Amino acid sequence: MQPSRILVKSLSKLANHQHYLFSFNDLRSLLPLLTEAAFKTLLSRAVKQGHLERACRGLYIYPPANPHDGLILFRAAAHLRADEFNYISLETVLSDIGAISQIPINRVFIMSSGRSNIINCGNWGSIEFIHINRKPTDLQSYLIYDSRCGLWRANVPLALKDMRATRRSLDLIDWSVINEYV
């Protein structure tokens, strides 16, 4: 069987609405006998033919399993930084409760024990990772697990604390909304 057919057939068996993002290494393990160059060519062709979509560097979406639920940036962040401590915070949390009048469109803010970086995910937007030096045990009472996103989420007091710690502008915050949560 041709490598492209093996790839598509394997993905159709493996993918579902919870697991539709695949890293380069995930896909590579499906065809270990191909050379690195041949595998990169295969991925490029799979993208051109619509079997895969490139979410960002080294991360691919299997379109038939994509639930189109608007959570791709969060799930990509969880996938890209799986070895780090990450949580949703800053403007993302505050806009979700309606405390910021200008909602950040196509951008999510993730506090991370990894290095600060902005990842461009094309049409889906950007993920901004902001480095933190805090331990998960120090923050456990301020975090809740968001199973839809596959990430921890800061509560409002922690999001405000993070805003101050990262010297973000507090000018757009509606403090009457914040007072309901604090």
Calpha distance 149→78 (Å, rounded): 8
Residue ranges per domain, the chain?
Answer: 12-65, 72-181
Q: What is the CATH number of domain 12-65?
A: 1.10.10
Lookup result for tokens 């990430």: 151
Tens-place pLDDT, residues 22-60: 999 999 999 999 999 999 999 999 999 999 999 999 999
**Average predicted confidence (pLDDT) for the chain:** 94
pLDDT at position 1: 75
pLDDT at position 101: 74
Q: What is the pTM of this model?
A: 0.92
Tens-place pLDDT, residues 115-153: 999 999 999 999 999 999 999 999 999 999 999 999 999
pLDDT band for 154, please (50, 70, 90 cuts).
very high
pLDDT at position 182: 73
